[in-house]
Structure formats: C-alpha cells, structure tokens
C-alpha cells in the first residue's frame, strides 16, 4: 500500500499569518543562516505521523472525529523563542500563551507525541542551516505582539518535500464542537 507523509494540525488565521510574515522578514534581514517557513505553510502541529500507509486513512478519520468532540477554544500567540535555547537556536518559534493547555489536551487526544517528547504549543517559523549571524538574529527577534485566534478545526495534512520546500495539502478536516453542536468531518479532495 502506498504511503504519505502526514501530520495533524490546527490552521493559523490570516491575521497571525500576516504578523508572522512581518516577523520572518525582520529576522531574515539579520542575515542569519536559516530556512524560513513560507507564511502560507504556517500551522500549529498537534501530531506528526510521518510516513503513513494510506490504508490507515479510515482509522485517522475516526481519530480526528473523536478528538474534535472537544469545544473550540481561543489561543493567544505571543513572544518569540528558540529550541533548545537562544544559545543554540536550532528552531525559531512564536509562542502560545493562553490556550496552550487546550492545545496540549487536543494533541493528547490524537495519541502520543513522536519520540516521546512532551507537547509544546508553538508556531515554527525558521530552522537553522548554519551558525552565521546567530547573535544578530537574537537581537532582531524582539517580541511578537499578542494576537488571538479561535481554534475551531483540525486538519490531516499531507506533506510533500520538494527542492523548493514542503507543500502541504489538506486531506481531511474536522470541526471542533461549538455551543453544543456536534462535530463533523469534511473529506477534502485528494491532493494531486
């Protein structure tokens, strides 16, 4: 059976995407050697599945539907940080304050994290390629003015790696419950 590289995520609002694009532009100007995420690809990863047999799509549909029984909730994006730290900033991210516990509960409902790592609510915006100008990057990071967004759905994405970067295609979408309304799952067209 064929496989696809899959992950489950919550989408990011256009307002957050635009603010992150401005931040990425500022960080890119620092000259640091990073691969910056295309703002169109920003998402809150809840569970990375990796190479997954496509015969598991029915199982994943059930998993999405079950996880989406919880109510929609609000998150607040704020602050800029790095993993594992600013002394060794391999990944640069925008943090999630309010709503981080709700995201963690949603992620837990989707199964255990890869490699047993604890869930950390964040929006990845860049990955280190080399150590050039890391000090300038840290100085340019500054802050990220708090932005609110309602998380009202989760999406099963397929990720295709290309020389130009990753291309994400939504395969299934499940709406979270709102005011006692039951969830529904939307099958999306198969990525071409």
Sheet order of strands, 43-53 included: 43-53, 3-11, 153-162, 165-175, 185-187
Mean per-residue pLDDT, 30-52: 94
Residue showing tokens 């998402």: 43
Check if the beta carbon of residue 94 is closer than 8 Å to that of residue 122: yes
- The pLDDT score that the predictor gives to residue 147 is 96
Q: How confident is the model at residue 166 (pLDDT cuts 50, 70, 90)?
A: confident
CATH C-level class of 3-187: alpha beta
- The pLDDT score that the predictor gives to residue 181 is 42
Share of the chain above pLDDT 70, in %: 91
Pick the closest to residue 174 from 124, 106, 120, 113 (CA basis). Answer: 106
Q: How confident is the model at residue 35 (pLDDT cuts 50, 70, 90)?
A: very high
Question: Which residues are within 8 A (CB) of 123 and not within 5 positions of it... i.e. 6 or more apart?
Answer: 12, 16, 20, 42, 43, 44, 77, 93, 94, 95, 96
Does the pLDDT at position 186 exceed 90?
A: no
- The pLDDT score that the predictor gives to residue 161 is 86
The domain segmentation of the chain, as residue ranges, is: 3-187
84-104 tens-digit pLDDT: 999 999 999 999 999 999 999
- The pLDDT score that the predictor gives to residue 178 is 76
- The pLDDT score that the predictor gives to residue 43 is 96
Q: How confident is the model at residue 164 (pLDDT cuts 50, 70, 90)?
A: confident
* Mean of all residue pLDDT scores within the chain: 89
């Amino acid at each position: 059976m064929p496989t696809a590289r899959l992950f489950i995520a919550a989408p990011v609002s256009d307002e957050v995407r635009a603010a992150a694009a401005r931040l990425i532009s500022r960080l890119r100007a620092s000259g640091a050697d990073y691969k910056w995420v295309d703002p169109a690809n920003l998402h809150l990863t809840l569970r990375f599945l990796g190479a997954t047999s496509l015969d598991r799509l029915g199982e994943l549909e059930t998993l999405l539907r079950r996880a989406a029984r919880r109510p929609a909730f609000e998150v607040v994006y704020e602050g800029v940080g790095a993993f594992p730290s600013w002394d060794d900033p391999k990944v640069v991210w925008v943090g999630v304050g309010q709503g981080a516990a709700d995201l963690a509960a949603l992620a837990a409902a989707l199964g255990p994290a890869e490699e047993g790592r604890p869930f950390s609510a964040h929006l990845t915006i860049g990955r280190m390629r080399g150590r050039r100008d890391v000090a300038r990057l840290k100085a340019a990071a500054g802050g990220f003015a708090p932005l609110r967004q309602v998380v009202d759905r989760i999406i099963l994405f397929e990720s295709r790696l290309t020389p130009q970067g990753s291309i994400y295609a939504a395969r299934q979408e499940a709406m979270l419950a709102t005011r006692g309304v039951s969830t529904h799952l939307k099958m999306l067209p198969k990525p071409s």
